[in-house]
Amino acid sequence: MRIDIITVLPELLRSPFEASILKRAIEAGHIEVYLHNLRDYSDKPHKQVDDYQFGGGAGMVLMIEPIEKCIENLKSERIYDEVIFLTPDGERLQQKMANQLSMKQNIIMLCGHYKGVDQRVRDQFITKEISIGDYVLSGGELAAAVLSDAIIRLLPGVLNDETSALTDTFQDNLLAPPIYTRPANYKGWKVPEILRSGNLPAIEKWRDEQAYERTAKLRPDLLNEDH
Ligand code: ADE
């Protein structure tokens, strides 16, 4: 899989891909991630990529021309499954969407900045608009990092324990059950006896019950959702 991220702030996006699981996923060849500085596609004297909005109003708007050049340049090299725009008014990111995107080959992510992008970019080039939540970030970069992380950890071979993405919170519309590690007794706070019993079917049953109970208590909305 390959992700191309178009941004005015590539430096903001570098570090998430240079540590831990994402770094290893890249090094092992499970994923290629490329950052493209939108300013490199500007013809303007000061590499300007934004301008005032027609009709007046505060806030600068990313111009269509450098974005088109960058996207067309990428599209001339390969076919893209999705061209995603990260924006607070997009469809809210959920696990199901990350699962679906993890099965694609090539994805472009465009990070919004300032007030947003010229609507014609959205109309002409964007196939999917995604928000990571109902709050406004100063740009789409952190959202692109979140989306990339959610996708990349699902790719085959990325997580050491092959089953671990399947048992994540949300994968069955349930929150994950509680987990514990050593010591079994810390200052009198004990690990549930069942987990130390070695009785695997009983442990499995306990985990299922805990997942359900936790979900009913903390996120009852998930139990009614159709995923
Ligand atoms: N850009 C600014 N805020 C955002 C959000 N909540 N999700 C995705 N992109 C954004």
Query: Quick one: pLDDT band at residue 164, thresholds 50, 70, 90?
Result: confident
Provide CB contacts within 8 A for 86, sequence distance 6+.
109, 110, 111, 112, 130, 131, 132, 140, 143, 144, 147
- Cβ 50 vs Cβ 61: under 8 Å: yes
Q: CATH number, domain at 145?
A: 3.40.1280.10
Please report the pLDDT score of residue 167 as a whole number. 79
pLDDT tens, residue by residue, 13-30: 999 999 999 999 999 999
Percent of the chain having pLDDT more than 70?
98
Residues 15 and 48 reside in one and the same domain: yes
Mutational test site, ligand 1, from 89, 93, 137, max ligand atoms within 8 Å of CB:
137
The confidence score (pLDDT) of residue 227 equals: 55
Based on the fold, state whether residues 93 and 197 are members of the same structural domain. Answer: no
Q: 182 and 133, same structural domain?
A: no
Higher pLDDT, 143 or 166: 143
What is the number of the ligand 1 atom nearest to the C-alpha of 133?
6
pLDDT tens-digit series, residues 56-104: 999 999 999 999 999 999 999 999 999 999 999 999 999 999 999 999 9
The amino acid sitting at 108 is I
Q: To test ligand 1's pocket by mutation, which of 132, 141, 142 has the most ligand atoms within 8 angstroms of CB?
A: 132
pLDDT computed for residue 221 by the predictor: 95
Domain coverage including residue 183: 169-223
Query: Is the CB–ligand 1 distance for residue 135 below 6 Å?
Result: yes
Asked if 9 and 75 sit in the same domain, the reply is yes
Q: What is the pTM for the complete model shown?
A: 0.94
Q: Is the pLDDT of residue 36 over 80?
A: yes
Q: Is residue 214 part of a domain?
A: yes
Instruction: Please indicate whether residue 143, judged by its CB atom, sits closer than 6 Å to ligand 1.
Output: yes
The domain that holds 216 is classified in CATH as 1.10.1270.20
pLDDT recorded at residue 225: 75
In a domain, 164, yes or no: no
pLDDT at residue 57, as a whole number: 93
- The verdict on 140 and 35 lying in the same domain is yes
Ligand 1 and 88: CB distance under 6 A: yes
Percentage of residues in the chain having pLDDT higher than 90: 90
